[in-house]
Amino acid sequence: MSPTGDHDRAASARAGFRAAFPYAAVGLVLSMSFGILARDSGFSAEATIVMSAIVFAGSAQFAAVSILASGGTATAAVAAAALMNSRFLPMGIALGPSLPGRAPWRAAQGQAVVDASWAMANRGDGTFDRWFLFGSTAPQYVTWIVGTTVGALGGDLFSDPSRFGLDAIYPTFFLALMLAEVKDRTTLAVALVGGLVALSLVPAAPAGLPVLAASLVALWGLRRGGRPA
């Protein structure tokens, strides 16, 4: 690789790192909320921190812990977590052609995909800047672990998440991502229809299905030639 290529990679990674700061800050507070919930649900501090380090997926972690806390089985918790993370399947398919190497190496690089990083690394022409992706995920991973640790070890200081508004962080995070992706009438329509689909299913469908059903609305946006929100 030429010096210019190395410079471009480093510059792109630094740009991603800087761009991710707001999302990393949100993740810090959100993961604190997760740490509190997991401890209140009977998880040890060690198990809570390890789960965040390995899974690194807020929606899946919250779903799994909530099901276990309400008396559900481990099988149900895993299934719900898988459904919550089903959005990463189409995201990975879209990202794949932008990652070099054989399938195992592309899969390893794909572990850097989180919602904000994937959206920001999208160049808008169907390709992704993988170094921007790596750079933007790095601070989010660090703050996710730090926040979980603080929440898990914080004891009674954060015993009531709603007291500090922590319970509102997660939906606000995804709302910010959606607004950033609304570029035209097609993406606005996709966002609105997807939101209505999810809200209509929440009272009756198992955890994860509303998100999956809403994500299918993006296929309509693709058919219209727009970029899904």
Do residue 193 and residue 88 come from a single domain? no
Output the tens digit of pLDDT for each of the chain's 229 residues: 545 456 689 999 999 999 999 999 988 988 988 898 888 888 899 999 999 999 998 878 887 887 787 676 788 778 777 877 877 888 899 999 999 999 999 999 999 999 889 999 999 888 999 999 999 999 999 999 999 999 999 855 555 555 555 555 556 656 665 666 677 777 788 788 877 887 888 777 765 567 667 767 766 655 555 443 3
Instruction: Report the 10 Å Cβ neighbour count for 158.
Output: 20
Rg of the chain over CA atoms, in angstroms? 18
- Are 204 and 195 spatial neighbours (Cβ–Cβ below 8 Å)? no
In this prediction, residue 150 carries a pLDDT of: 93
In this prediction, residue 229 carries a pLDDT of: 37
Query: What's the total number of domains in the chain?
Result: 2
In this prediction, residue 228 carries a pLDDT of: 39
Do residue 17 and residue 106 come from a single domain? yes
The interaxial angle of helices 169-181 and 58-69, nearest 10 deg, is: 150
Do residue 166 and residue 190 come from a single domain? no
Per the structure block, which two tokens stand in for 229?
């929100």
Alpha-carbon distance of 228 to 177, in angstroms, equals: 12
Do residue 119 and residue 163 come from a single domain? yes
Do residue 106 and residue 80 come from a single domain? yes
Domain boundary (172, 193, 216) is at: 172
Alpha-carbon distance of 224 to 229, in angstroms, equals: 13
**Structural domain boundaries enclosing 194:** 182-229
Do residue 137 and residue 204 come from a single domain? no
Do residue 56 and residue 108 come from a single domain? yes
In this prediction, residue 60 carries a pLDDT of: 83
- Residue 128, beta-bridge partner list: 122
In this prediction, residue 149 carries a pLDDT of: 95
Whether 177 maps to a domain, the answer reads no
